[in-house]
Amino acid sequence: MLLMVTSSVSSAFSQTIMQRAQITRNYDIQRFQQLQSQFYQKAFSEKQRAVQMAQANNWPVKIEKMGVFSELQKVSPDGRPIYYTTFNVNASKSTRTNFLNTGGQSGLGLDGQNMTAHIWDGGLARSTHQEYDGPGGTDRFSVGDGTSTMHYHSAHVTGTIMASGVHPNAKGMAPHARAVGYDWNFDTSEASAAAVNGMLISNHSYGFAVRDPNTGKPWLPDHYFGGYIEDSRNWDELMFNAPGYLMVVAAGNDGNDDSANGAPLGGNPAYDKLSGHSTSKNNLVVANALDAAVDAQGNLTSVTINSSSSEGPTDDLRIKPDITGNGTTLFSTFEDSDTAYFSITGTSMASPNVAGTLLLLQQHASNVNGSFMQAATLKGLTLHTADDAGPAGPDAVFGWGLLNAKRAADEITNNGSHSIIEEFTLTDGQSYQKQVTSDNVHDLSVSISWTDRPGSATTVINSSTPVLVNDLDLRVTKGAVTYSPWRLTGITTSGKGDNSVDPYERVDVSDASGTYNITVSHKGSLTGGSQDYTLIVTGLTADPDTDTDPPTTPASITASDITQTSLMLNWAASSDNVGVTGYDVYQASSRIVTVPGTSFAITGLSENTSYRFSVSAKDAAGNESQPSNPIIVTTLPDISVSGCTGGISSFPYYEGFESTLGAWVQDTEDDLDWDVNTNGTPSINTGPSTASKGMFYVYVESSIPNFPKKRAILNSPCFDLSAETQASFEFKYHMYGASSMGTLTLEVSVDDGISWNSIWSKSGNQENLWQTASVDLSAYTGASLQLRFIGITGNTWQGDMAIDDISLISEGISGGDTTVRLTLHFDTYPEETSWQIINSSHHQVASGGTYGSQADSSTLNIDVDLPAGCYSLKIFDSYKDGMCCSYGSGSYNLTDTSDNRTLAEGGQFAESETTGFCVGGASE
């Protein structure tokens, strides 16, 4: 099967450190590391097996045909290939996004400033395109993984979200936002890593291919259509563990294909066309409409679905797609030049139309409330305020209707007066009641939305068993009349009654007047003992008896756990005549966060700096207390450890960190520790996969909350060089990750740690290999010295740095190192290639690979510094067919950069090839 981008031809996080910390403050970091590793290992093994079967069965790994790009991902249990396949001015008008932008009638000036979208697709956008600079700011597109291959589809999706509008017709929904691009390989693993670092919204304009693009034969198993399969469950598990993150997904472009599904739900071939992550519960699945007719006030007058848009529902009759965007003949960026544009059509275009707009709604919520909405709140608000399209009520074509960004933003603004948007937790056995008053003009609409736990995946065709885990119930009553929520009653019909399948319920009361009672309850027992949910109510009157009494002022504010970069604020609870709903924390005069409890961890501070904090309380009516008495806190100064222990006077000295730190000591005044590790680090696309020598090495883990600019210091024992006249220090280091991954420094002290001097330093990505550093210590002989490694993380979680195989010898360094350049011209399987450089003592001094993130048939240059001596270069191919010429014309070449002398070259070998060479004047 193919995972496809469905369309037809016609840097880094930008949220602030505080905002990211707020988003992730209740996340289970250890669970995310488990998910990231689990998803990666499974995807890797599935891909490896699929490629092997492709070679045996002559399946193409990648297919580009008639404007559709597909790439092999895995093999189904019955042996069929599964592929991913690729599924603006008018778009902005259709969804009323233009009302939110600068110059729009809402007057909100929302352009995505300081917001970031994450985009998984079949490749990357062109980072130098003029639309990613310009009025919206410079260099706003960055790469989130090791991908280098560009694709027009990815470029078009990216532009739809964040193009500046250099060409006015190409202006994106959030023209000042940033975007991070990834290819679709290992998407769940990469999304796990991004979510734990504060990702709010991602776009996925691809899904499973239902037919072989070459033969037209259906090849997706029938139970995939509408089924809650493992892929559906995995994404739900990720979103449940990251309740601030919402995944936006294209529904697909199979609306006109009524025969690919061999067993359509209810025997109706015009429906039941969603598969994979499009059948997850917690995401937002987007259908594609033609340009909508909207009047000058932003009211929808008419809209028509594009016939190619894939229809739902799911097999358990959940309402999917969820929402409709505009993705027909969208004009956006292309990848073949910095000024390239084109118009294409598909749910692939409707999805970023929605994703970019939702980014603006999160920005507005943060501006109004001082914090972002939970994903369930954002999704619920989107569905609550959509314009109904098609038959009355939700349906399996439009979902809940066409996105109406203007109305959604209005309800955020009106929260607490004419609308209610509140996040609650329902505990097991509990119910919640609230009385509201209609404005007697608009319909009274009440909805609840929640991020449900992952359900049980199934391989049963058309299984009607609900996959909802925690079934919440919403009812609205007036006197003896009870109003029930919408639900699908069949493939093509909807009605009102008990909804036991959707994690979103909405009750609409037409011609409402007077007072109504809202009740939220649940069936059975709540798995986990509780369920977070959001209540949304619109069509309310401003109650003349609204609470106007503010809470009491928070007292007894204190600070604890003070470090160079962080502290914990604590305060006594306030009281209120109705009830305190939260506390606003202020740094100086700026509100930095709203929290429900009486403490908050502040991070990202500077050392030896004074800060002023205060806290105020607020209630459900929006009344805010007077701020507390301010507290002024000074972070700790940069205090270096002193004291030199464990003297070493016998040389040579070696340390390989084999399960322990040996005589090296963790600093007690830094932010992080160096960890002893074996195999790879928890995060993908950073850190080594093995030790340089032996089984263990030490490294700095840079995942949240260990960045940015957190220090990890590892102190050596004392080295007594009083009897030496020459000395050198050598070690292996590994710095692979993002370009801004941080700095590794080696420092020396000759006064028992009172003062330190830098004698070696490297910053940024140094490629995925162990490299050798040699430092001459001859200037420090005749006395004792101490060394220390300082790792300082950058502004990304992809910043794991490692050291291994340390030696101090009582000999000088003769001459300088020689830089050799290894050039790898890959075949069509770069993920099979790896290499090592071995010295004359049979120790590995450098290595790299494999290169699954490299583009097929691409070229990679790797520089390695080697001391004078003789070495062996070993090239490996895991499939045992070399780099040439079964699958492309690959080769390798090793040169001495000082004289351009060729040291080794080749390409045609089986499992491995070894070539000896010497540098620096040495000879064998």
In Å, what is the CA distance from 583 to each residue of 21, 364, 554, 569, 621? 16, 20, 9, 12, 14
Exposed/middle/buried for residue 588 (C-beta within 10 Å: 0-12, 13-18, 19+): exposed
Q: Is the dihedral of CA 604, 608, 611, 615 positive or negative?
A: positive
707-730 per-position pLDDT tens digit? 888 999 999 999 989 888 888 899
**Mean per-residue pLDDT for 77-95?**
76
Chain-wide mean pLDDT for the chain? Answer: 88
Contact 686, 616 (CB under 8 A): no
Better-predicted residue by pLDDT, 274 or 91: 274
At residue 178, does pLDDT exceed 50?
yes
At residue 2, does pLDDT exceed 80?
no
Contact 791, 731 (CB under 8 A): no
Q: How confident is the model at residue 475 (pLDDT cuts 50, 70, 90)?
A: very high
Percent of the chain with pLDDT over 90: 48
Task: State the Rg of the chain over Cα.
Answer: 30
Residue 321: cis peptide before it, omega within 30 degrees of 0: yes
pLDDT of the residue at 636:
80
Exposed/middle/buried for residue 128 (C-beta within 10 Å: 0-12, 13-18, 19+): exposed
pLDDT of the residue at 179:
95
pLDDT of the residue at 7:
38
Identity at 869, one-letter amino acid code: G
At residue 537, does pLDDT exceed 50?
yes
pLDDT of the residue at 67:
62
- Listed range (212-221, 361-370, 536-545, 819-828) with the worst mean pLDDT: 536-545
Secondary structure (DSSP) of 781-806: TTSEEEEEEEEEE-SSS---EEEEEE
pLDDT of the residue at 719:
92
pLDDT of the residue at 42:
82
| Max avg pLDDT among 385-394, 660-669, 847-856 | 385-394
pLDDT of the residue at 507:
98
* Architecture, CATH, for domain 818-919: Sandwich (2.60)
pLDDT of the residue at 828:
82
488-517 per-position pLDDT tens digit? 999 999 999 999 999 999 999 999 999 999
pLDDT of the residue at 412:
94
pLDDT of the residue at 829:
83
Fold agreement (421-538, 653-809) = yes
Q: How confident is the model at residue 279 (pLDDT cuts 50, 70, 90)?
A: very high
> What is the CATH T-level fold of the domain 421-538, as seen in this structure?
Jelly Rolls (2.60.120)
Its CATH class, for the domain covering 89-384, is: alpha beta
Identity at 342, one-letter amino acid code: F
pLDDT of the residue at 4:
38
pLDDT of the residue at 170:
87
Secondary structure (DSSP) of 483-551: E--EEESSSS-EEES---S-SEEEEEETT--SEEEEEEEESSPPTTSEEEEEEEEESB---TT---PPP
At residue 857, does pLDDT exceed 90?
no
Measured distance between the N- and C-terminal CA atoms of the chain, rounded to whole angstroms = 54
567-612 per-position pLDDT tens digit? 899 999 888 877 788 899 999 888 888 888 888 989 888 888 889 9
Residue 382 DSSP one-character state? H
At residue 365, does pLDDT exceed 60?
yes
30-67 per-position pLDDT tens digit? 787 778 778 877 888 888 888 888 888 888 888 876 56
Which residues have C-beta within 8 Å of that of residue 765, sequence separation ≥ 6?
735, 736, 737, 738, 739, 741
Q: Rounded to an integer, what distance in angstroms lies between the CA atom of residue 760 and that of residue 403? A: 56
**Mean per-residue pLDDT for 206-222?**
89
At residue 13, does pLDDT exceed 60?
no
pLDDT of the residue at 135:
66
Q: How many residues appear in the chain?
A: 924
pLDDT of the residue at 1:
34
Better-predicted residue by pLDDT, 584 or 828: 584
Largest CA distance in the chain: 98
Q: Rounded to an integer, what distance in angstroms lies between the CA atom of residue 241 and that of residue 28? A: 7
> What is the CATH T-level fold of the domain 555-634, as seen in this structure?
Immunoglobulin-like (2.60.40)
pLDDT of the residue at 662:
85
Percentages helix, strand, coil for the chain, rounded to the nearest 5? Answer: 15, 35, 50
CATH dotted code for 653-809: 2.60.120.200
Q: How confident is the model at residue 15 (pLDDT cuts 50, 70, 90)?
A: low
| Domain boundaries of the chain, sorted by first residue | 89-384, 421-538, 555-634, 653-809, 818-919
At residue 427, does pLDDT exceed 60?
yes
The verdict on pTM exceeding 0.85 is no
pLDDT of the residue at 168:
82
Counting Cα atoms < 13 Å in the Cβ hemisphere of 67 gives 15
Per-residue burial over 312-323, b if 16 or more Cβ lie within 10 Å, else e, is: bbbbbbbbbbbb
Beta strands 486-488 and 494-496, pairing class: antiparallel
757-793 per-position pLDDT tens digit? 899 999 988 888 889 888 889 888 888 899 999 999 9
Contact 463, 227 (CB under 8 A): yes
Nearest to 62 by CA among 254, 214, 261: 214
Beta strands 206-209 and 419-427, pairing class: unpaired
Compute the C-alpha angle 74/238/364, nearest 5°.
Answer: 125
Q: How confident is the model at residue 544 (pLDDT cuts 50, 70, 90)?
A: very low
880-908 per-position pLDDT tens digit? 888 988 778 899 999 998 888 899 999 99
pLDDT of the residue at 813:
54
**Mean per-residue pLDDT for 844-870?**
79
pLDDT of the residue at 642:
41
pLDDT of the residue at 17:
63
**Mean per-residue pLDDT for 364-389?**
95
**Mean per-residue pLDDT for 75-93?**
76
